[in-house]
């Protein structure tokens, strides 16, 4: 009998933690949804192009620290899980936020096996995996070369991928000093899938796929932001567009 009561109270503690976390998350998300329109002018209607259910990979450019939280709170009720730098957990408040949003930590050397398995699990559960192929924040908005790990996930899981691009967050510091709201343009590209029929994905093919993924991001941006890809032609041989109804 004592064991039964012990297990019962253990269940109540877990349930209490779960519901408290859900309440905390709702409060924090509501706060972010309130603050974003105060500091930014956002065309949030662009996000309506993203399907209501997954599995799907969302690939983002990474000009600032704001596009990730923006996507997370305004894509609700979709369940989205993002990758984030492991160093963010070193700051207590930010680490709490990352845990609440169930972000996947990524070390300095990029996506390791454990992070990769967590990414697979997100997609296996039919959710949205948000990832910045550049692997780091650019601060100026100019694109850097994409990392091959993103390409491997898309190839391995064969799920549709959609580009989600923001232009303007990188100007926040300039605008806030002038007491102006920062205009941010959101663009969502057409879904695509990776096409490669081999049983293994060679390193050079992984990079070719990663570059094509970045080009699909680039084509939604002004040419002045293309950065590393400024001289690349818009040619796609490793990825193929699919119907938007997916």
Dihedral angle sign, alpha carbons of residues 189, 191, 196, 199: positive
For residue 2, is pLDDT > 90? no
> What's the average model confidence in pLDDT over 101-120?
90
Q: Cα 181–187–191 angle (5° rounding)?
A: 155
pLDDT band for 246, please (50, 70, 90 cuts): low
Strand 56-60 to 128-131 pairing? parallel
Of 194, 190, 186, 191, which is closest to residue 221 (Cα–Cα)? Answer: 186
For residue 68, is pLDDT > 60? yes
Question: What is the rounded CA–CA span in Å between residue 119 and residue 113?
Answer: 10
Each as own residue / partner, the long-range contacts of residues 231-235 (CB below 8 Å, 24 or more positions apart, any chain) are: none
> The CATH number of 43-241 is which of 3.90.1150.10, 3.40.1130.10, 2.40.50.140, 3.40.50.9100?
3.40.1130.10
> What's the average model confidence in pLDDT over 87-111?
89
pLDDT value for 21: 53
| CB burial of residue 166 (10 Å; 0-12, 13-18, 19+) | buried
For residue 11, is pLDDT > 80? no
pLDDT value for 22: 79
Dihedral angle sign, alpha carbons of residues 170, 132, 115, 76: positive
pLDDT in tens, 166-179: 999 999 999 999 99
DSSP string computed for 69-93: HHHHHHSTTS-EEEEEEGGGGGSHH
pLDDT in tens, 201-213: 999 999 999 999 9
pLDDT value for 244: 62
Question: What is the rounded CA–CA span in Å between residue 144 and residue 226?
Answer: 8
pLDDT in tens, 120-165: 999 999 999 999 999 999 999 999 999 999 999 999 999 999 999 9
Mean of per-residue pLDDT scores for the chain = 89
pLDDT band for 107, please (50, 70, 90 cuts): confident
> What's the average model confidence in pLDDT over 4-23?
48
Question: What is the rounded CA–CA span in Å between residue 218 and residue 136?
Answer: 16
């Amino acid at each position: 009998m004592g064991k039964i009561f012990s297990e019962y109270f253990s269940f109540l503690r877990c349930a209490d933690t779960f519901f408290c976390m859900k309440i905390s998350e709702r409060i924090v998300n509501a706060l972010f949804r309130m603050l974003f329109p105060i500091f930014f002018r956002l065309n949030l209607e662009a996000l309506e192009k993203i399907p209501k259910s997954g599995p799907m990979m969302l690939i983002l450019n990474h000009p600032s620290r704001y596009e990730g939280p923006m996507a997370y709170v305004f894509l609700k009720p979709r369940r989205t899980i993002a990758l984030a730098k492991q160093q963010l957990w070193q700051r207590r408040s930010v680490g709490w936020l990352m845990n609440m949003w169930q972000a996947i930590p990524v070390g300095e050397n990029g996506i390791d096996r454990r992070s990769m398995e967590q990414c697979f699990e997100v997609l296996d559960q039919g959710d949205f995996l948000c990832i910045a192929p550049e692997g780091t924040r650019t601060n100026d908005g100019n694109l850097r070369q994409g990392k091959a790990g993103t390409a491997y996930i898309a190839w391995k899981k064969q799920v549709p991928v959609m580009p989600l691009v923001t232009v303007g967050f990188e100007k926040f510091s300039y605008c806030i000093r002038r007491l102006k709201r920062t205009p941010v343009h959101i663009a969502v590209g057409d879904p695509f899938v990776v096409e490669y029929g081999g049983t293994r994905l060679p390193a050079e093919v992984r990079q070719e796929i990663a570059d094509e993924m970045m080009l699909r991001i680039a084509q939604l941006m002004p040419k002045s932001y293309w950065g590393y890809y400024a001289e690349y032609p818009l040619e796609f041989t490793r990825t193929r567009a699919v119907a938007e109804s997916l």
